[in-house]
């Protein structure tokens, strides 16, 4: 069948529709599902309602009040220089005394599926400017991420100082506390 005839008869539309049905029977959600729609609709509402207050309160503990109401788990005295990055509020878990000046990439698209994974940044962890943390990472207490570090998906970082892409421990030169 020629391409023009197939388009005129609607053959391609039926084929695409059957692929989406097959995909949803396999428990994968296509990008046109209601789950994705409601997820992005909630994010749009978050940016519309909370965007201006969070930009004004960026870098202060007052932004945490708004983020906690949206569902973020944020400890005491934690500072986010860009609180709008926490729009995946169900995936945010920060401990006490953290400073997050880096980038948070808590969701990804893989095989036309939205994946959001909880990321834990535990007590006393600074994420320096330009460092990137991806979804599913666990960063233990008192861990330091130096600028331009990359923490990959589902990476587990024990207490140390890290740099590089992907993040690797550095030597004694960058210890956090003098011995």
Is the pLDDT at 167 greater than 60? The verdict is yes
CA–CA dist 56, 60 (Å, integer): 9
Q: Could you tell me the pTM of the whole model? A: 0.71
Q: Which domains does the chain have, with CATH numbers?
A: 30-158 (2.160.10)
**In the prediction, which pLDDT does 146 show?**
95
CA–CA dist 132, 14 (Å, integer): 42
Is the pLDDT at 13 greater than 50? The verdict is no
**In the prediction, which pLDDT does 46 show?**
84
Tokens of 125: 């962890």
Place of tokens 């609180």: 83
Q: Which helix (H) or strand (E) holds 9?
A: helix 3-9
Average pLDDT estimate for 48-54: 88
């Amino acid at each position: 069948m020629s391409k023009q005839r197939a388009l005129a008869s609607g053959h391609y539309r039926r084929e695409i529709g059957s692929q989406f049905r097959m995909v949803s029977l396999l428990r994968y959600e296509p990008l046109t599902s209601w789950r994705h729609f409601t997820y992005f609709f909630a994010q749009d509402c978050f940016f519309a309602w909370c965007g201006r207050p969070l930009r004004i309160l960026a870098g202060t503990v007052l932004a945490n009040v708004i983020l906690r109401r949206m569902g973020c788990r944020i400890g005491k005295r934690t500072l986010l220089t860009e609180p709008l990055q926490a729009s995946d509020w169900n995936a945010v878990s920060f401990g006490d005394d953290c400073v997050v000046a880096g980038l948070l990439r808590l969701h990804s698209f893989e095989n036309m599926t939205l994946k959001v994974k909880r990321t834990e940044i535990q007590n006393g962890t600074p994420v320096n400017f330009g460092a990137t943390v991806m979804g599913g990472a666990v960063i233990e207490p008192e861990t330091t991420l130096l600028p331009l570090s990359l923490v990959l998906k589902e990476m587990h970082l024990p207490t140390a100082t890290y740099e590089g892409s992907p993040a690797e421990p550095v030597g004694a030169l960058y210890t956090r506390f003098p011995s």
